[in-house]
């Protein structure tokens, strides 16, 4: 019975092992929630925590934070900073643009193919690009 939860989600476990992370109960729960349906997700620690709580999964807030950081350094998710107040984590780890709805604080993927950067500023000597963040901030168009 030590393995009870290991059987339910081979995908999540594979995903974890891809990052060299041991499949603990909490990690599998969180991984499941992030990649369970194959769709990209943008979550905050708080949002993940409250969803887990509502579903009765026992994961402490500290563990959600630790786990997200672990996923992040394992390269399984990517942190996006759009709003000074909280961190978003994206299950799509490739370089791609985002839409950010300023009023609802929702972060979603923008179609990557539609962004064409013809030239990028020349990188200073001795530096290399870690990543390029493109955030298109949106507001609802006023109808008056």
* Least Å from the CB of residue 103 to a second copy: 10
Per CB under 7 A, the list member of 11, 50, 60, 112 interacting with DNA is: 60
Per CB under 7 A, the list member of 9, 27, 34, 76 interacting with DNA is: 27
* Least Å from the CB of residue 107 to a second copy: 12
Region from 9-17, 29-37, 48-56, 97-105 binding a second copy, contact rule CB under 8 A: 97-105
d(CA 19, CA 91): 13
What lies within 8 Å, CB to CB, of 110 at 6+ separation is 96, 97, 98, 99, 134, 136
d(CA 139, CA 103): 7
Task: Name the CA dihedral angle for 45, 51, 54, 59, rounded to a multiple of 10 degrees.
Answer: -50
Radius of gyration for the chain, computed over Cα atoms and rounded to the nearest angstrom: 18
Nearer to DNA, 17 or 112 (CB): 17
d(CA 90, CA 103): 20
Report the site for a second copy in 74-93 (rule: CB under 8 A).
Answer: 79, 81-87
The verdict on 63 binding DNA (CB under 7 A) reads yes
| 3-class secondary structure, 61 | helix
Chain residues in the site for a second copy (CB under 8 A): 79, 81-87, 97, 99, 101-102, 110-112, 114-124, 126-141
Chain residues in the site for DNA (CB under 7 A): 2, 5-6, 21-27, 44-46, 58-63, 65-67, 69-70, 84-87
């Amino acid at each position: 019975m030590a393995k009870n939860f290991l059987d339910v989600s081979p995908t999540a476990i594979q995903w974890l092992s891809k990052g060299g992370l041991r499949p603990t109960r909490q990690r599998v729960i969180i991984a499941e929630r992030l990649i369970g349906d194959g769709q990209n997700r943008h979550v905050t620690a708080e949002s993940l925590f409250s969803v887990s709580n509502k579903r009765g999964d026992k994961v402490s807030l500290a563990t959600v934070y630790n786990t997200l950081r672990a996923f992040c350094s394992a390269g399984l998710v990517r942190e996006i900073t759009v709003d000074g107040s909280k961190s978003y984590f994206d299950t799509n780890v490739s370089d791609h643009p985002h839409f950010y709805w300023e009023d609802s604080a929702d972060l979603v993927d923008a179609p990557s193919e539609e962004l064409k950067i013809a030239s990028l500023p020349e990188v200073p000597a001795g530096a290399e690009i870690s990543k390029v963040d493109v955030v298109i901030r949106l507001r609802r168009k006023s109808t008056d």
